[in-house]
């Protein structure tokens, strides 16, 4: 939200250090909703009926995605071929580097599919970023199930991956900056200290008067980070701080053929 001089508002000095950056994936890092892209191509048609139940609020995203992934019928090589066509925001890598230089730990928390996220990020050399998401497990040549290692029985949204619980556990007392776009971010947006928001999440933040900045892409997000008033640090001293701050995540998609 630039002013008449084209300048972005300066964020409070208290904003840094001591922040955890939480990034959504589908529609935020990836241009599209990858989960929808997978289901629309490779699931039996009933997946749409389940989506209707979820949109009506009859079921949470955890039950929705568990049932939808049960309907997938696709060999892994064909799934990979699709995933290899998915693009990400061209400035996400530079944003990660900016966080790195500012000693801001970053974690991707997604209610999508871990295997898809890692496959896509790997093409960009970013698959070592901390990730919490729903776990895809292959159970035959072309069928799968979804597991939920980061769900929370107390999750008010019934999510497969509870963004509130995961980010709270990983923040270690730091404030939380959420970057997202959609309804899977609504719950955490109400608990986060600041939100960089676009599309549906931006509207949600405006309607709820939540602390936020309009942020259509990672070029803007990076610019907003640079507006934060933090002391200069040596890049040498902060190499890959997110790895030190957060435990490694095991490889995705354990195969059980
Ligand atoms: Mg999203």
- Tell how far the Cα of 45 is from the centroid of ligand 1, in angstroms: 23
- Tell how far the Cα of 185 is from the centroid of ligand 1, in angstroms: 7
Residue with tokens 């490779």: 42
The CA distance from 86 to 10, in Å, is: 34
**Mean pLDDT, to the nearest integer, of 42-61?**
95
Does 24 reside within a domain?
A: yes
Q: Give the pTM.
A: 0.83
Does 4 reside within a domain?
A: no
pLDDT in the model for residue 227: 64
- Tell how far the Cα of 12 is from the centroid of ligand 1, in angstroms: 27
pLDDT in the model for residue 70: 98
- Tell how far the Cα of 179 is from the centroid of ligand 1, in angstroms: 9
Element (H or E) spanning 23, and its range?
Answer: strand 19-23
- Tell how far the Cα of 62 is from the centroid of ligand 1, in angstroms: 15
- % the chain with pLDDT above 70: 81
Helix axes 61-70, 47-55, angle to 10 degrees: 180
pLDDT in the model for residue 228: 57
pLDDT in the model for residue 242: 40
CATH number of the domain that residue 205 is part of: 3.40.50.1000
- Tell how far the Cα of 104 is from the centroid of ligand 1, in angstroms: 21
**pLDDT single digits (tens) 166-213:** 999 999 888 899 999 999 999 999 999 999 999 999 999 999 999 999
Weakest-pLDDT range from 8-17, 99-108, 146-155, 236-245: 236-245
27 pLDDT more than 90:
yes
Q: Which band of pLDDT confidence, cut at 50, 70 and 90, is reported for residue 157?
A: confident
The order of strands in the sheet holding 106-113 is 144-147, 131-138, 106-113, 19-23, 175-180, 194-197, 212-214
- Tell how far the Cα of 5 is from the centroid of ligand 1, in angstroms: 31
Does 198 reside within a domain?
A: yes
85 pLDDT more than 70:
yes
- Tell how far the Cα of 75 is from the centroid of ligand 1, in angstroms: 26
- Tell how far the Cα of 115 is from the centroid of ligand 1, in angstroms: 16
Q: Which residue has the higher pLDDT, 6 or 118?
A: 118
- Tell how far the Cα of 226 is from the centroid of ligand 1, in angstroms: 24
Residue 138's DSSP bridge partners are 144, 255
Q: Which band of pLDDT confidence, cut at 50, 70 and 90, is reported for residue 69?
A: very high
**pLDDT single digits (tens) 101-144:** 988 999 999 999 999 999 999 999 999 999 999 999 999 999 99
- Tell how far the Cα of 257 is from the centroid of ligand 1, in angstroms: 31
- Tell how far the Cα of 255 is from the centroid of ligand 1, in angstroms: 27
- Tell how far the Cα of 183 is from the centroid of ligand 1, in angstroms: 7
Does 54 reside within a domain?
A: yes
Does 180 reside within a domain?
A: yes
- Tell how far the Cα of 27 is from the centroid of ligand 1, in angstroms: 4
Mean pLDDT score across all residues of the chain: 85
User: Which residues span the domain enclosing 83?
Assistant: 13-245
pLDDT in the model for residue 173: 83
- Tell how far the Cα of 232 is from the centroid of ligand 1, in angstroms: 32
The CA distance from 165 to 152, in Å, is: 7
- Tell how far the Cα of 147 is from the centroid of ligand 1, in angstroms: 19
- Tell how far the Cα of 4 is from the centroid of ligand 1, in angstroms: 30
Tokens of 80: 């990979």
Tokens of 32: 């599209």
**Mean pLDDT, to the nearest integer, of 73-96?**
97
The number of domains in the chain is 1
Does 257 reside within a domain?
A: no
Does 121 reside within a domain?
A: yes
- Tell how far the Cα of 24 is from the centroid of ligand 1, in angstroms: 6
Pick left, alpha or beta for residue 188 (phi over 0 → left; psi -120 to 50 → alpha; otherwise beta). Answer: alpha
Does 72 reside within a domain?
A: yes
């Amino acid at each position: 939200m630039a002013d008449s001089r084209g300048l972005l508002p300066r964020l409070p000095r208290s904003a840094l250090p001591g922040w955890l950056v939480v990034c959504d994936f589908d529609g935020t890092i990836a241009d599209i909703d990858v989960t929808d892209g997978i289901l629309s191509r490779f699931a039996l048609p009933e997946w749409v009926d389940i989506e209707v139940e979820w949109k009506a609020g009859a079921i949470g995203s955890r039950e929705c995605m568990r049932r939808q992934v049960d309907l997938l019928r696709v060999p892994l090589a064909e799934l990979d071929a699709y995933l290899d066509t998915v693009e990400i925001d061209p400035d996400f890598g530079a944003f990660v580097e900016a966080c790195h230089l500012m000693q801001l730990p970053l974690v991707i928390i997604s209610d999508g599919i871990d295997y898809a996220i890692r496959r896509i990020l790997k093409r960009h050399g970013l698959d070592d970023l901390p990730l919490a998401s729903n776990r895809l497990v292959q159970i035959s040549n072309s069928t799968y199930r979804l597991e939920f290692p980061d769900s929370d029985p107390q999750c008010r949204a019934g999510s497969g991956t509870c963004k509130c619980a995961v980010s709270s556990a990983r923040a270690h007392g730091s404030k939380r900056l959420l970057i997202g776009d959609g309804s899977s971010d609504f719950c955490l947006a109400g608990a986060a200290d600041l939100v960089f928001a676009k599309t549906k999440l931006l509207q949600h933040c405006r309607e709820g008067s939540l602390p936020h900045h309009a942020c259509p892409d990672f070029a803007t997000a990076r610019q907003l980070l640079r507006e934060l008033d933090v002391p200069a640090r040596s890049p040498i001293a902060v190499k890959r701080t997110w790895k030190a701050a957060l435990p490694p995540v095991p490889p995705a998609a354990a195969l059980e053929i």
